[in-house]
Every structure is written in C-alpha cells, then in structure tokens.
Structure 1
C-alpha cells in the first residue's frame, strides 16, 4: 500500500509540474552568476536551475545562456550554492555557460 501511495504522489508531482510548466511564461527569466572567488576552477559562469519535469524552462534557459554570450550551454545535476559539490536534492538540474 505504501508503494502505491508513493507511486501516485510521484505521478501527481511530475504530472502537475509538467502541466504548470506548459502554462508558464519564461520571458523574464532570472539567472545567477557563479565566479572563481567562491568556486574552484576558471572564470564566471551564468546558470539557471530547473526541475527535470520542466522541459519548457530548460529550452528557455539554454536560449538565455547562449544569448548572454556563452559559447555553449551545458547541463548537469545542480551544485550546492557556495560549494563545488553536487546538491543532494533529487531531480534538480542546472544549465550553465562559461563567460568568454
């Protein structure tokens, strides 16, 4: 019975998120900046976080990142805010691009 409830909740969350993503307007999307002062590695990166059930936001974020002057948009599991480590939140992804 517990497994059935978990499956139903999982389907409702993903189905509801997908439905709401279809109705959302991402014309004024905000992005964040990660720089080398707080992160290990090279220069600044622009990034946008999204859930895996938001395909429309993913496409809009890719267009935003490439439109800001980045060579390419890369996708990966979301990182923690001030640490160069993966976040433990499941299904949270991010798209980032390295500033030229």
Structure 2
C-alpha cells in the first residue's frame, strides 16, 4: 500500500486519493487552433519516465484538494509532495558525496 501525505490533511492511505495523471502540463494557449493530431498529443500522450515522475493527485475522501506528488516509478517511493502553487522540488543527484 502506498502512503501519501496530503499537504493539508497529513499522511493517508492511497485508497483515499484519486490519481490525476502527469503534473506540470500546460493547457494549450489557443485550443481552438489545435488540429486533431495536436489535441490527441495533449490529451493522450504522456511521458513514461523510469525514476522520479511528477503526478497530480486529489484527496478525494478528505479535503478534496489537488496537489502534486513526485514518485519514483521504479521503487514506488514518494519522494516529495507539494501544492499546485509550489515549484517542483529539486532532488539530490544520485552518487553524491559519501
């Protein structure tokens, strides 16, 4: 089971949340100008990152607020949780000072 810490409610089991897909995807500036191919790219094409990946989650059975989670897709570890108005946190580089 995945434990996610809501920025407002604290740590809760993953069953209390709703997954919202990849984070930090800007809405098209002129959506009426997009052809079908570009709409498909915006709606369906997402990164498939191995390692740290920024995702949107909503605390559906709690405060019902959206926030971002930086999760390692290999280990399933939650590396950081941050509100939508906060920047993505920088992670320490692997193989740093020992």
TM-score range, shorter chain: under 0.3
Name the structure where strand makes up a greater proportion of residues. Answer: 2
Provide TM-score, normalisation by structure 2: 0.21
Name the structure where helix makes up a greater proportion of residues. Answer: 1
